[in-house]
């Protein structure tokens, strides 16, 4: 089915929230001066809105920053197609609860109250009401667009069981969900040719990309053999295609998996990792921001110009080496490092080798001490990296190893890190064989599946110890 041109209201909800957060802030601040003045001396006149903004813009800016930090961690602006309005409402409630704590804390820390308790409650309540109304209107708008055939997400159904046709019928009937059933693949539609998986004679990857498949639903206990299903799952993982499972029975033991509903039919999704939990993400992000800010203020602020001068005197070229790397969910970002090599067109495509002649004199010192990674604290503040996580590889390495190492792409389910478990386990440095990379990936996958606060603290401590004594694996 050829989709109609999508009509999307990009960032409309974010814009509405920002707009009313600012407007209501100024309105209630004006009311504070008019009716809730708490100082001993009388107020000569009511400040204008511009004067209020000039006097309290720092608090307003802090409100905005904190609002979006909280929003990121409760996924306030992440709305899946199958989501119900009650789930959107739950996110908004969490957002308002966390934000209200900040509002009252900031108001109480000022020499004179920013808002009185009554106005603080009124401000929070107003944001909540406007948030509900705006989200409801946007929710209804998108539902109507889906019913008209706009902005549909193509899904592929693989294999069949007793519930497959029922699931397909639900998708056809519930167009408001925004999910378009594209095709059902059975044994006769799929086969191998010279180790290449073909769907209707087309390479699986090309089929997925050409038809803009966003998700694959696999029917459990169907007719396809296990090897074929495993290959499909592997290719979906490599191509960042989400997989869900259609159960063979809605009454089987499915409680150990995450259960989501398409209409009234339960669909199984694997609840994989600790960092799927929003609270864990919040704690990790707070640690990243605080730690990186301290490093930038107290270390990078004076060390950066010194290192920059040494690099400039040592060899010609830019101070920073900026290279595209794959980050969270495989999205590319610019990774910053101090330049440690002479300028060459091969630096972005050829990995560092032992005794690499491209490495400069100051570059050897920077690599040995890991000082070359210091600019990545800026990547952390930008939200592209974390303090601890799998090290980001060159894109060419990702493309090569994802096809030959099982579960390679699991490392992209979390943000890449400045340091990681692989580094403190001794698996950093040159990759002399596929086995070297496999050891690194095995520890990365372990980290993704077994993340904890204590594990991050342990890795940071071990990293500091390695920097102090020198890492023999650094090249």
Average confidence score pLDDT of the chain: 85
Q: 195 — alpha (psi -120 to 50), left (phi > 0) or beta?
A: left
Residues 6+ apart with CB under 8 A from 205: 235, 239
3-state secondary structure of 233: helix
Q: Are 295 and 286 in contact (CB under 8 A)?
A: no
Rounded Cα distance, 127 and 147, in Å:
30
Between residues 464 and 350, the one the model is more confident about: 464
Rounded Cα distance, 191 and 225, in Å:
11
Confidence grade of residue 112 (pLDDT, cut at 50, 70, 90): low
Rounded Cα distance, 147 and 131, in Å:
24
Encode burial over 104-118: b for 16+ CB neighbours within 10 A, e otherwise.
bebbeeeeebbbbee
Rounded Cα distance, 53 and 23, in Å:
10
Confidence (pLDDT) at 306: 95
Q: What percentage of residues in the chain have a pLDDT greater than 90?
A: 32
Between residues 80 and 42, the one the model is more confident about: 80
* pLDDT per position as a tens digit, 126-157: 999 999 999 999 999 888 888 888 888 899 99
Confidence (pLDDT) at 351: 65
Residue 263 pLDDT more than 60? yes
Between residues 42 and 231, the one the model is more confident about: 231
Provide the sign of the torsion angle of the four alpha carbons 346, 350, 351, 356, taken in this order.
negative
Confidence (pLDDT) at 197: 85
Residue 218 pLDDT more than 60? yes
Between residues 298 and 453, the one the model is more confident about: 298
Closest Cα partner for 245 from 220, 215, 224?
220
Mean pLDDT of 236-250: 83
Mean pLDDT of 379-398: 92
Beta bridge partners of 242: 215
Confidence (pLDDT) at 308: 94
Residue 1 pLDDT more than 60? no
Residues in the chain: 475
Residue 255 pLDDT more than 80? no
Rounded Cα distance, 157 and 165, in Å:
10
Q: Are 177 and 82 in contact (CB under 8 A)?
A: yes
Confidence (pLDDT) at 287: 94
Residues 6+ apart with CB under 8 A from 371: 303, 307, 338, 365
Q: What percentage of residues in the chain have a pLDDT greater than 70?
A: 88
Mean pLDDT of 386-399: 90
Confidence (pLDDT) at 2: 46
Residues 6+ apart with CB under 8 A from 368: 470, 471, 474
Write down the number of H helices and E strands in the chain.
Answer: 15, 13
Domains located in the chain, CATH noted? 12-147 (no CATH), 153-271 (3.40.50), 278-469 (no CATH)
Rounded Cα distance, 72 and 63, in Å:
14
Residue 250 pLDDT more than 90? no
Confidence grade of residue 254 (pLDDT, cut at 50, 70, 90): very low
Total Cβ atoms within 10 A of residue 460: 18
Mean pLDDT of 81-88: 81
Q: Are 177 and 171 in contact (CB under 8 A)?
A: yes
Q: Are 310 and 374 in contact (CB under 8 A)?
A: no
Mean pLDDT of 217-233: 88
Confidence (pLDDT) at 349: 62
Confidence grade of residue 475 (pLDDT, cut at 50, 70, 90): low
Residue 407 in tokens: 């579960």
Confidence (pLDDT) at 333: 94
Rounded Cα distance, 202 and 229, in Å:
17
Confidence grade of residue 310 (pLDDT, cut at 50, 70, 90): very high
DSSP state for residue 353 in the 8-state scheme: -
Closest Cα partner for 317 from 350, 335, 341, 353?
341
């Amino acid at each position: 089915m050829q989709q109609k041109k999508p009509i999307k209201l990009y960032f409309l909800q974010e814009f509405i929230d920002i707009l009313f957060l600012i407007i209501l802030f100024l309105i209630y601040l004006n009311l504070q001066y008019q009716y809730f003045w708490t100082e001993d001396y009388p107020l000569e006149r009511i400040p204008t809105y511009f004067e209020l903004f000039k006097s309290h813009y720092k608090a307003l800016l802090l409100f905005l920053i904190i609002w979006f930090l909280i929003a990121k961690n409760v996924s306030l602006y992440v709305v899946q197609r199958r989501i119900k309005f009650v789930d959107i409402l739950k996110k908004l409630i969490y957002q308002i609860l966390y934000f209200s704590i900040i509002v009252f804390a900031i108001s109480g820390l000022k020499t004179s109250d920013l808002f009185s308790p009554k106005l603080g409650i009124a401000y929070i309540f107003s944001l909540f009401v406007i948030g509900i109304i705006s989200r409801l209107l946007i929710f209804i708008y998108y539902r109507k667009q889906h019913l008209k055939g706009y902005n549909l997400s193509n899904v592929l159904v693989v294999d069949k069981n007793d519930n497959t046709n029922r699931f397909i019928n639900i998708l056809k009937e519930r167009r408001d969900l925004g999910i378009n059933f594209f095709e059902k693949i059975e044994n006769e539609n799929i086969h191998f040719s010279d180790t290449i998986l073909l769907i209707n004679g087309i390479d699986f990857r090309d089929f997925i990309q050409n038809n803009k498949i966003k998700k694959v639903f696999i029917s459990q206990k169907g007719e396809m053999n296990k090897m074929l299903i495993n290959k499909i799952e592997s290719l979906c993982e490599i191509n960042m295609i989400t997989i869900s499972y259609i159960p063979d029975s809605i009454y089987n033991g499915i409680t150990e998996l995450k259960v989501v509903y398409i209409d009234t039919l339960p669909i199984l999704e694997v609840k994989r990792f600790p960092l799927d939990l929003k609270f864990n993400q919040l704690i990790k992000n707070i640690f990243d921001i605080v730690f990186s800010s301290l490093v930038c203020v107290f270390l990078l602020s004076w060390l950066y110009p010194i290192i920059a001068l040494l690099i400039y005197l040592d060899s010609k070229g830019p101070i920073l080496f900026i290279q595209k790397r794959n980050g969270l969910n495989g999205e590319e970002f610019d990774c910053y490092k101090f330049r440690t090599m002479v300028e060459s067109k091969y630096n972005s495509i050829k990995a560092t080798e032992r005794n690499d002649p491209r490495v400069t004199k100051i570059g050897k010192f920077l690599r040995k001490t890991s000082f070359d990674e210091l600019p990545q604290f800026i990547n952390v503040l930008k939200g592209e990296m974390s303090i601890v996580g799998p090290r980001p590889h060159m894109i060419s390495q990702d493309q090569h190893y994802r096809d030959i190492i099982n579960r390679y792409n699991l490392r992209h389910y979390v943000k890449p890190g400045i340091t990681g478990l692989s580094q403190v386990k001794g698996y950093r440095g040159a990759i002399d064989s596929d086995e070297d990379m496999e050891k690194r990936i095995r520890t990365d996958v372990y980290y993704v599946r077994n993340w904890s606060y204590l594990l991050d603290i342990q890795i940071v401590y071990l990293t500091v110890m390695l920097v102090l004594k020198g890492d023999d694996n650094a090249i």
